[in-house]
Amino acid sequence: MKKLLLSAAVLLTLGFISCSPSPVGTWVEPAGNTEEQGFTLYQDGLASSINMGYIEFKNWEKSGDLLILKGNYLGSNKREFSDTMKIESITKTEMTLSQAGYSVTYIKK
């Protein structure tokens, strides 16, 4: 009986872990009066920017509750960058990221 309960607990835990939404997809900030801005995270770890001007995303990774976006700044001071943001919340339709006391909620397209 104890083995059965332990097995059930393990399966439930694995079920909850696998149910958490994936960050894979296209995420944009609500548009307001300007063009949509955001990014696309691809299943293979690649990433691309959407109307981000001087920022070109190249790839991404998730580590625990952190989302790490890597890419290039394309302005006058061209260089590579790595941005680490905390995933505050994620659902099938929204993802809120925070960094240094500032947070942004993105909508999945």
Tens digits of per-residue pLDDT, 76-101? Answer: 889 999 999 999 999 999 999 999 99
User: 3 in a domain, yes or no?
Assistant: no
Q: Which of 72, 78, 23, 27 is nearest to 45 (CA)?
A: 23
Enter the pTM of the model: 0.79
Reported in sequence order, the residue ranges of 51-93 that DSSP labels E, i.e. its strands, are: 55-63, 66-73, 79-90
What pLDDT, on a 0 to 100 scale, did the predictor assign at position 4? Answer: 37
DSSP state of 68: E
Q: What H or E segment, with its residue span, contains residue 74? A: none
User: 74 in a domain, yes or no?
Assistant: yes
Domain count along the chain: 1
Report the CATH number at residue 41: 2.40.128.280
How many CB atoms are located within 10 Å of the residue 12 CB?
Answer: 10
For residue 3, pLDDT beyond 90: no
User: 76 in a domain, yes or no?
Assistant: yes
User: 2 in a domain, yes or no?
Assistant: no
**Is the distance from CB of 59 to CB of 72 less than 8 angstroms?**
no
Q: Tens digits of per-residue pLDDT, 5-59? A: 344 444 444 444 446 799 999 999 987 767 899 999 999 999 999 999 899 999 9
Q: How many alpha carbons lie under 13 Å from residue 56 in its C-beta half-sphere? A: 8
Full residue range of the structural domain in which residue 85 is found = 23-108
What pLDDT, on a 0 to 100 scale, did the predictor assign at position 1? Answer: 44
